[in-house]
Chains A and B, each alone.
Chain A
């Protein structure tokens, strides 16, 4: 399935947050959305997944979703959004329960996604018993359980420390290498963007507009090793963003 964002504009009251944003998510590709704070990137992501309605423009799904997909557009949240009273397996089960799957099928899916996120030994652990990185892996397992067509990731690593972030990026790349998925990945971290994105969309400061779309040709699996090229790319991105980020910072200070 191809996802097309077409001419989205949006206001919150008097404040214009997005202006005429268009982009395309091709199957099997990860699109990173970066931009200064308050540029509307999280708002845009909520619109892509249908959690918020834009004033103008629309999001189109081209091509039918696979019949196996229980929830074609699936989020991974910054704060994990796990139910604290359910175990890791229970949190995955939550999103399968409404679909009338036979019990055995449901348990097989849970076991499979927990194995893919290396959580099999922690199936019965409650979120509070898990580290931040493991909690986000539970959330990733939950997202994989519904066989999404497009993953919508809202700063998925921002609540984690630097080392855990590295580990999780490796995990995400490994998951993608095993079974390519499409994703919109919102982040303010340029290092994440150059590691994870097939294309990087730079949004301007508020109102968010697409300033530039940078294609990254290095295969995802090779990026960890080709660190010098990534550093150069990251530098280039920063130069494109720097003035915007500075201006956005001043605006927030004056607001």
Chain B
């Protein structure tokens, strides 16, 4: 009698980390080789050493800290206060019918507006110079997705847990703090993940429109001067910025949501 043939397996994806690294290195090698041999026009893509030179220049002159500092300040302020306000309003809407009734239509009407369209208004309010207009744009960008995710998170908290809290005589504030907020945390954090990438888009757009420094301004000037090495360097800085922010959120999620296993 023959053995039963094995028919399982084959679709389980096991990550092969080194493959990604090999592809990365191969692409860099191709880029370098193509530029050196003249296959790639320097107008389409500058040779890698130009990008390296741009980075060296940034660090030697210290301009990197100027640009990065300005961008991080705007992003940090706008995102932090936008998220804080978003969580507060979302929570209030989730807990009170009248707040929901009052703020709901306003949020629904403003949510689809691309917040960059409000930058000119903020420039009129806060002036071209100074951080007000840029921070306000980013703040608004963070606010709406956070409101919507917080509200959805509060709505999704198991009513049975709230009834349990009431049945043990917990105060309203204790129920909010110990049951509703932690229960809504997964949804709030995924809202903050979304809002962080929206904020980076807004940051660069705002800096391209009305700023003298910051990574967005750096990229815009590089493009205007046909300094493609600098331009690519700026894009790489953005990639690293995005990755760092995502990594930080991942870290917070890991700590706060460890209970989900």
Contact = CB atoms under 8 A, between A and B. Distances in A.
Interface in A94-120: 94-95, 97-98
Contact of B168 (A79, A128, A146): A146
Interface in B167-210: 167-171, 174, 178-179, 182
Interface residues of B, number: 19
A73 B163 CA distance: 14
B160 interface: yes
A185 interface: no
Interface stretch (A30-38, A54-62, A81-89): A81-89
A3 to B, nearest CB: 15
B171 A81 contact: no
Contact of B171 (A49, A84, A98, A129): A98
Nearest to A87: B259
B167 A49 contact: yes
A156 to B, nearest CB: 13
Interface string B137-163: 000000000000000000000101101
A124 to B, nearest CB: 12
A238 to B, nearest CB: 30
Given A77-B160, A85-B182, A51 B167 contact: yes
B9 interface: no
Contacts of B170: 94-95, 98
Given A83-B178, A83-B182, A98 B169 contact: yes
Most chain A beta carbons < 10 A, residue from B161, B166, B168, B171: B168
B105 interface: no
Contacts of B171: 98
Contacts of A73: 167
A169 interface: no
Interface in A24-54: 49, 51
Contact of B160 (A70, A81, A85): A81
Contacts, number: 50
Contacts of B167: 49, 51, 71, 73-75
A160 interface: no
Nearest to B179: A83
A229 to B, nearest CB: 35
B261 interface: yes
A135 to B, nearest CB: 13
Contacts of B182: 83, 85
A129 B260 CA distance: 10
Given A81-B161, A81-B163, A85-B259, A95 B178 contact: no
A86 B160 CA distance: 16
Nearest to B165: A94
B164 interface: yes
A126 interface: yes
A239 to B, nearest CB: 35
Given A79-B160, A83-B179, A98 B174 contact: yes
A83 B161 contact: yes
B28 to A, nearest CB: 44
B88 to A, nearest CB: 21
Contacts of A71: 167-169
The 8 closest A-B pairs by CB, nearest first: A81-B164, A85-B259, A95-B168, A75-B167, A85-B182, A81-B160, A71-B169, A126-B259
Interface of A: 49, 51, 70-71, 73-75, 77, 79, 81, 83-86, 94-95, 97-98, 126, 128-129, 142, 146
Given A79-B160, A85-B259, A129-B261, 13 more contacts: A51-B163, A51-B167, A71-B167, A71-B169, A73-B167, A75-B164, A75-B167, A77-B164, A81-B160, A81-B163, A84-B260, A94-B170, A126-B261
